[in-house]
Amino acid sequence: MMNLKNIIEEKRKQMEKAKKKETAKNVAVGTAIGTALGAAAGILFAPKAGKETREEISTKSKETAENVKMKVEEQLDSTKEQIEKVKTDVEKGWEDLKEKAKKDKQEAEKELDFAADKAEDVADEFKKGVKDFKNVAEETKENVEKEIKK
């Protein structure tokens, strides 16, 4: 049981680490978006022709959207990998635990069989002793009766 606890605790720590990593990536994505917005604002206020400005804003918006999409996909992939790793590790821990329980059960059954055999041996010896005691008691009784009749 301790083994499964350790596995679960390790997975919890890994998940916390993954969350911290995700937060850091989110900050990076936020920074990238902020930078893109700042660049867009700079473009808007730059002395260029309207058509040229709109084209530049469109291009930058598409680039930013692609960057955000890539970062989100990377995060999803990373999270899926972490979930699969945790799932695999927990399943392995569970299988190990079941195997250990099976071995412990088999060992306990062997010990119980051994104890049962010993108990049968003791019972047989006790029955033999009682039978021998009865025989000795009967012989003693017969001898006493013979002595009394004399």
Q: What percent of the chain has pLDDT over 90?
A: 16
- How many angstroms separate the CA atoms of 128 and 141, rounded? 20
* pTM > 0.85: yes or no: no
Q: Which of 95, 84, 82, 102 is nearest to 3 (CA)?
A: 95
**Residue pair 35/128 in contact by the 8 Å Cβ criterion:** no
Domain count, the chain: 1
Q: What is the mean pLDDT of the chain?
A: 82
pLDDT tens across 116-144, in order? 999 999 999 999 989 989 888 888 888 88
Whether the predicted pLDDT of 101 surpasses 80: yes
- How many angstroms separate the CA atoms of 116 and 53, rounded? 93
- How many angstroms separate the CA atoms of 128 and 120, rounded? 12
Quick one: pLDDT at residue 102? 93
* Residue 32 vs residues 73, 83, 122, 126, 130: alpha-carbon distances, Å: 16, 27, 83, 89, 94
Give me the domain span that covers residue 53: 2-149
Whether the predicted pLDDT of 45 surpasses 80: no
Q: Which of 83, 89, 66, 91 is nearest to 22 (CA)?
A: 83
End-to-end CA distance of the chain: 78
Quick one: pLDDT at residue 127? 92
* Residue 49 falls in which region: left (phi positive, over 0), alpha (psi -120 to 50) or beta: beta
Q: Two tokens at 123?
A: 């019972």
